[in-house]
Chain A
């Protein structure tokens, strides 16, 4: 257990479904991130929250909707996804966004399959 917990670990959803991914950290970090990892591609940054405020949206389609109610929790709400959205979604946290000294702590990810 890395300190960042993601649920569920696996998710299969239809294109018309609505689901949510959850991320939780109790490391005292103030920044949280959603990354997407598709096969044979670099980790793609999706969203950044710093002190609960969204500081970056990396041109992510609106069918992905993040929510950060507090510094310990981060959600990714999914609706009307496409099969090409199937990927591993990773949550990460750090002391603060944009500070390299501390690196990231990643969760184990949610393997999403859109059918």
Chain B
């Protein structure tokens, strides 16, 4: 059974940093791209970033480019989202998700979500 277990959310001040983690199990982790999606009541679901199975290709939404860094450790079955220079607009529930396969940006398993609140 595929499982994605997230950790690392919380309250952070504007301009601060936070790292989200996602521990994967139940599938051959290195064979699948992984994606971060965030959700807010106002903007709905928003694609944030994706990383290929090898980690060699990483993509970002324009809204986070230059501030967020996605990485993965295939030896630990982990994917990370490092967030810098956070603003109130980054407040959201962040989900990690498994791509259905390397070439398809559709997500067949999701983590439970991590709430990030950016506030002073």
B is bound to A: no
